[in-house]
Amino acid sequence: MIESGWSIVLSCPSLVYFIDTKMDDLIMMLESNKESLKLEAMKRIVGLIAKGKNAYELFPAVVKNVASKNIELKKLVYVYLVRYAEEQQDLALLSISTFQRALKDPNQLIRASALRVLSSIRVPIIVPIMMLAIKEAATDLSPYVRKTAAHAIQKLYSLDPDQKEHLIEVIEKLLKDKSTLVAGSVVMAFEEVCPDRIDLIHKNYRKLCNLLVDVEEWGQVVIIHMLTRYARTQFVSPWREDAVFDENSEKTFYDSEGRRVDQSKPYIMDPDHRLLLRNTKPLLQSRNTAVVMAVSQLYWHLAPKHELSIITKSLVRLLRSHREVQYIVLQNIATMSIQRKGMFEPFMKSFYVRSTDATHIKTLKLEILTNLANEANISTILRELQTYVKSQDKAFAAATIQAIGRCATNISEVTDTCLNGLVLLLSNRDETVVAESVVVIKKLLQTQPSQHSDIIKHMAKLFDSITVPMARASILWLMGEYCEHVPKNAPDVLRKMAKTFISEEDIVKLQTVNLAAKLYLSNSKQTKLLTQYILNLGKYDQNYDIRDRTRFIRQLIVPNEKSGALSRYARRILMAPKPAPVLQSAFKDRDRFQLGTLSHTLNSQSNGYLELSDWPAVAPDQSVRIVEVVELAGAPLLGKSKPGKSAEKFYSDSEEEEEEEGSSSEDSSSSSKSESESESEENSDDSNKSSSSESDSEKKKKTLKNKKLQQQKPDSKDRYCHDLALFLSQSHLFFLNKFLVVFKFNLRCIANVHYSKKKALLLFIMTKFFSIHIVLAFSNQFVANCRCSLLCLCVFLACQFDAVSWHVRVSLQASFPVFVPETSHELLHRMTGKGLSAQYRFTRQPCIYGNSMVSLQLTLSNSSDQALENIHISEKSSTGQNIHRFNAIERLEPQASVTVSMGVDFNDSTQAANFQLCVSIQPAVGELLLPITMTEADFTKEQGKLLGMNESSATITMTPENISSQSVNRKVVSVANLGVIPSSQENIHSVPRRCLNLTKPTFWNVIKKTNCS
């Protein structure tokens, strides 16, 4: 109610000043403590924005409410923020942290809306934050969040096109998504960011075709348009056999090609091509007109000609829709009907014009009717056209007359009838009708002038009553051109013109001069004086065109000594036979554009129009679209399934194991929450690869696997293996001394693997053993020959399953967390860190930042009395190791602490070994699962290398000797020193000089040290 009162105030322009003072009120309201007042203020502000009024100065007051608990208030603040952030970039940054927090919210819709707003704020400075947020959201478990990520891709691209490469990576990932929710949005992003990267589509082509029916309608339109383009590059033309029906200019091209190919082999449609046509067909029944149009254009551009007819009915149905829909559909039908009359001929009556139609609809219908005209239906069409001539809409009547002219030239049987009809129209009282008739008759007469001298005479008689300049000019031209057919009338008309010359329009004057010249040449006796008179009038005309023309004509026709050779040819120049004009459709050349596009509607290329390529002469490799058939990760038939040779199989097996592991050791795990989180990360990653349904929740998956395990029960031997494996993996520490026995058993299993149908299960067990071996190896309990066997085993595995090394590694990593150490280690003492202390812990979780990374959890706390700002890891990493840094912590309040996670890629076993030694965290041995392939000899060798490699005496000397956790402390001291006295360190550790700020270098150095020291 207050709302409406407000709008009254706003709509009165004299109260503008009043509104300005109201701004202060609004600020007051926004700063009050009452939610309802704030909400009311925001509603008024949105009202202002809607009206296009400036609410710019309220920004600081509004942005404060961004973290409000009230959902409506929050949404309205978002509206405001998105509208004005671009203009108030600095202030807008204040809101960013709120969104960053919300991005981690457990509720998917809050995550999605945070990403939506964050990516809508067009502030270039937050591009890296957006990029990170998009990358994370793209792997979110919720398809809704992933959809939002797809939208955000386009926003980021328009904000900063330099991010293209990174965005393409995200698009590639999202294209693999199996959710119908995501498909449309990601294809939209694809079209906007990298429409030329057709190679990204190959693997997803069949999936997109199959999902299409279930995608939401707007996504369908985008996908269909994209697939149309794709198909034109990948399949050969299906139009060869019936190229005869192809009436356009391409005919010869296809014809010749078709014949050539036909001789060699008949055309067989690619099954993928057929798949697309088959799966889009039901969409012709969609209620969404854009979808129907999209499918129609797909069929038009891709289907064999004889299958085209199915789109006709649907297109005609769309004509029942709104005026604007009709307009677009009629345009497309007009283009189609030029090439293929047969498609729409049975529906001719649907194009009959109603008096209530808008003018542009009428004109289009007329165009189509004219296109459809042939010998059989011309009488019906002409009868219909007659009624249109009398329309109240004069522009339409004129268009009808032109249409009649076109019918007359195209169908010779009716030329005479039409001409007679048009002559009768000359006596119409409406000037536009008469004028248009004259113009059309002129064109028609040009085709056969000799038979129609009586019509020309009739028009000469009408000349006095016609006032429309174009019509008068047309008659004059006819007189001049065919003056020999009307020898008596023409001079008379010229006489009349001489009288009225000065008051005529320019176009009429020009034609009068023409007529005079032509008569002078053919009948100079009668018209010589008249011509000279007119030429004299023209000489002094105001219009330079007419003066020029007069001068030219005079030189041409009146012989004198200066005129030279040209005047001898005057007759041949002026009276040359002229080709008859061809009356053709205005839609003739529209087919160069893809149907249904904006460019087609406007008949000119619009921004971002993507051209349809011609069919390739030879189809590109079809196999690119083949997706490896991946067995379901949770296939209930695992026990019976054939040995999986693919890497995925191996991967999913180990994943499954980890899954099961997680459930069994949950009680022992202190951080079960974070574990399950990363587990689900793994899940989503996995389900992208395998064909398991996205919507399956983690829980569901677990039950499925339990079920599967139960199914294995009947086979007692397998069950035994399995149980044993499980048992071993859980209690491996107690089995150290029994190791060799176990290993032998394991080897026997491997031997059996070759023959057993239960390979997958054994593999599972093997993996389990494998992980135990590794643990044992690094517990210094391992003898050399066993290690060799272990390596053999590893190689064997790699060969057997054709798995690349990272797969092995991932599987190992994934299978590991039988025991998660809870102890955390001090990285930086608060004293040395001048208040900042850091502790780190290995979470033993598969790293969410990358398969090859090790997860590290850092706890940073501030024990000083002032807030620390901008804590982050330096960009520069001298070791070349890939570290996934945590997001910079903007501010850490006194006595506060924050936990961040990061990932470190130890790349290579050697480097990881280094790391292990120098940090020498005893329980962390397991963290270094990756370097297993390293022998002890290597180990010491690297240790030796380290001395030579690292020239910083302070750090290095300490490293090999001291492996207690205290040494970490001492090292930290030295590192802290580095930060404090940068001048001495610069050469050695290449510490950037600018890092004088305490927090930055200390932290950076520490990490660097863990990597390389």
Partner 1 sequence: MIHSLFLINNAGDLFLEKHWKSVISRSVCDYFFEAREKAVEPDNVPPVIRTPHHYLINIYREKIFFVSVIQTEVPPLFVIEFLHRVAETFQDYFGECSETTIKDNVVIVYELLEEMLDNGFPLATESNILKELIRPPTILRSMVNTITGSSNVGETLPTGQLSNIPWRRAGVKYTNNEAYFDVVEEIDAILDKSGTTVFAEIQGVIDACVKLSGMPDLTLSFMNPRLLDDVSFHPCVRYKRWESERVISFIPPDGNFQLMSYHISAQNLVAIPIYVKQNISFFETGSSGRLDIAVGPKQTMGKTVECLVVTVHMPKVVLSANLSATQGTYNYDPVTKILLWDIGKLNPQKLPNLKGSLSLQSGAPKPEENPSLNIDLKIQQLAISGLKVNRLDMYGEKYKPFKGVKYVTKAGKFQQRLSEWLLVHTEV
Structure tokens of 998? 């305490």
User: Per CB under 8 A, which of residues 28..67 are in contact with partner 1?
Assistant: 34-36, 39, 43, 46-47, 49-52
CA distances in angstroms from 387 to 404, 436, 917, listed in the order given: 12, 16, 97
What is the rounded distance in angstroms from the CA atom of residue 206 to the CA atom of residue 223? 12
The residue (of 196 and 621) whose beta carbon lies closer to partner 1 is 196
Any contact of residue 465 with partner 1 (CB under 8 A)? no
What is the rounded distance in angstroms from the CA atom of residue 978 to the CA atom of residue 955? 11
Any contact of residue 613 with partner 1 (CB under 8 A)? no
Q: Which of the stretches 74-82, 450-458, 491-499, 556-564 binds partner 1 when contact is defined by CB under 8 A? A: 74-82
User: Per CB under 8 A, which of residues 757..786 are in contact with partner 1?
Assistant: none
CA angle, 382 then 383 then 387, to 5°: 110
Any contact of residue 120 with partner 1 (CB under 8 A)? yes
User: Per CB under 8 A, which of residues 86..115 are in contact with partner 1?
Assistant: 86, 107-110
User: Per CB under 8 A, which of residues 128..167 are in contact with partner 1?
Assistant: 142-144, 148, 151-152, 154-155, 158
Q: Which of 489, 402, 427 is nearest to 453 (CA)?
A: 489
The residue (of 426 and 750) whose beta carbon lies closer to partner 1 is 426
Sole binder of partner 1 in the list 607, 737, 785, 953 (CB under 8 A): 607
The residue (of 164 and 719) whose beta carbon lies closer to partner 1 is 164
What is the rounded distance in angstroms from the CA atom of residue 39 to the CA atom of residue 985? 56
Number of residues interacting with partner 1: please give it, by CB under 8 A. 118
Give the x/- contact pattern for partner 1 in 984-1013, rule: CB under 8 A.
------------------------------
Residues 115/133, Cβ–Cβ less than 8 Å: yes
Q: How far is the CB of 968 from partner 1 (least distance, A)?
A: 46
Q: How far is the CB of 306 from partner 1 (least distance, A)?
A: 20
Residue type, 472: R
Any contact of residue 356 with partner 1 (CB under 8 A)? yes
Q: How far is the CB of 613 from partner 1 (least distance, A)?
A: 16
User: Per CB under 8 A, which of residues 8..27 are in contact with partner 1?
Assistant: none
CA distances in angstroms from 704 to 502, 621, 631, 707, listed in the order given: 97, 39, 15, 5
The residue (of 181 and 521) whose beta carbon lies closer to partner 1 is 181
User: Per CB under 8 A, which of residues 365..384 are in contact with partner 1?
Assistant: 379, 382-384
What is the rounded distance in angstroms from the CA atom of residue 435 to the CA atom of residue 458? 14
Structure tokens of 235? 């399949």
Helix axes 716-730, 647-664, angle to 10 degrees: 60
The pair phi, psi for residue 868, each rounded to 5°, is: -105, 145
Structure tokens of 966? 């205290």
User: Cβ-count burial of 887 within 10 angstroms (0-12 exposed, 13-18 middle, 19+ buried)?
Assistant: middle
The residue (of 144 and 806) whose beta carbon lies closer to partner 1 is 144
Longest dimension (CA), the chain: 133
Cβ-proximal residues to 923 (8 Å cutoff; 6+ apart), any chain: 821, 823
Any contact of residue 467 with partner 1 (CB under 8 A)? no
Q: How far is the CB of 556 from partner 1 (least distance, A)?
A: 42
Sole binder of partner 1 in the list 420, 664, 805, 870 (CB under 8 A): 420
Q: How far is the CB of 7 from partner 1 (least distance, A)?
A: 6
Q: How far is the CB of 676 from partner 1 (least distance, A)?
A: 21
User: Per CB under 8 A, which of residues 846..905 are in contact with partner 1?
Assistant: none
User: Per CB under 8 A, which of residues 319..348 are in contact with partner 1?
Assistant: 320, 322-325, 327-329
User: Per CB under 8 A, which of residues 919..938 are in contact with partner 1?
Assistant: none
CA distances in angstroms from 62 to 42, 113, 685, 870, 964, listed in the order given: 8, 18, 40, 26, 54
The residue (of 127 and 925) whose beta carbon lies closer to partner 1 is 127
The residue (of 156 and 873) whose beta carbon lies closer to partner 1 is 156
The residue (of 94 and 395) whose beta carbon lies closer to partner 1 is 395
The residues that bridge with 842 in the sheet, in sequence order, are: 856
Residue entry with tokens 């399949």:
235
Sole binder of partner 1 in the list 425, 440, 546, 934 (CB under 8 A): 425
SS3 129: helix
The residue (of 180 and 585) whose beta carbon lies closer to partner 1 is 180
Residues 673/740, Cβ–Cβ less than 8 Å: no
Sole binder of partner 1 in the list 89, 97, 100, 288 (CB under 8 A): 288
- The alpha carbons of the chain give a radius of gyration, in whole angstroms, of 42
Sole binder of partner 1 in the list 163, 314, 410, 1011 (CB under 8 A): 314
Residue entry with tokens 């790699």:
798
Give the x/- contact pattern for partner 1 in 390-409, rule: CB under 8 A.
xxx-----------------
The residue (of 592 and 945) whose beta carbon lies closer to partner 1 is 592
The residue (of 355 and 984) whose beta carbon lies closer to partner 1 is 355
Residues 125/160, Cβ–Cβ less than 8 Å: no
Q: Which of the stretches 168-176, 265-273, 417-425, 807-815 binds partner 1 when contact is defined by CB under 8 A? A: 417-425
Sheet holding 853-862, edge to edge: 825-828, 836-846, 853-862, 897-905, 882-884
User: Per CB under 8 A, which of residues 494..523 are in contact with partner 1?
Assistant: none
What is the rounded distance in angstroms from the CA atom of residue 494 to the CA atom of residue 480? 9
What is the rounded distance in angstroms from the CA atom of residue 76 to the CA atom of residue 68? 11
Sole binder of partner 1 in the list 267, 609, 796, 819 (CB under 8 A): 609
Sole binder of partner 1 in the list 252, 387, 706, 878 (CB under 8 A): 387
User: Cβ-count burial of 910 within 10 angstroms (0-12 exposed, 13-18 middle, 19+ buried)?
Assistant: middle
Cβ-proximal residues to 268 (8 Å cutoff; 6+ apart), any chain: none
Any contact of residue 386 with partner 1 (CB under 8 A)? yes
Q: How far is the CB of 14 from partner 1 (least distance, A)?
A: 16
User: Per CB under 8 A, which of residues 222..261 are in contact with partner 1?
Assistant: 225
What is the rounded distance in angstroms from the CA atom of residue 657 to the CA atom of residue 679? 12
Q: How far is the CB of 748 from partner 1 (least distance, A)?
A: 48
Extract the runs of DSSP E, i.e. beta strands, from 652-734: none
The residue (of 236 and 401) whose beta carbon lies closer to partner 1 is 401
Sole binder of partner 1 in the list 217, 345, 506, 826 (CB under 8 A): 217
User: Per CB under 8 A, which of residues 686..745 are in contact with partner 1?
Assistant: 695
Strands 889-892, 825-828: pairing kind = unpaired
Q: How far is the CB of 272 from partner 1 (least distance, A)?
A: 21
Sole binder of partner 1 in the list 29, 63, 78, 583 (CB under 8 A): 78
User: Per CB under 8 A, which of residues 560..599 are in contact with partner 1?
Assistant: 596-599
Q: Which of 174, 186, 190 is nearest to 215 (CA)?
A: 186
The residue (of 111 and 649) whose beta carbon lies closer to partner 1 is 111
The residue (of 601 and 967) whose beta carbon lies closer to partner 1 is 601
88 CB-side CA count, 13 A: 19
Q: How far is the CB of 159 from partner 1 (least distance, A)?
A: 9
What is the rounded distance in angstroms from the CA atom of residue 640 to the CA atom of residue 651? 18
The pair phi, psi for residue 844, each rounded to 5°, is: 60, 30
Find the helix or strand (DSSP H, E) in which 682 lies: helix 672-689
Sole binder of partner 1 in the list 18, 352, 552, 727 (CB under 8 A): 352
Q: How far is the CB of 325 from partner 1 (least distance, A)?
A: 6
Residues 530/498, Cβ–Cβ less than 8 Å: yes
Any contact of residue 218 with partner 1 (CB under 8 A)? yes
DSSP secondary-structure letter at 88?
Answer: -
Residue type, 35: E
Residue type, 920: S
Sole binder of partner 1 in the list 417, 622, 897, 952 (CB under 8 A): 417
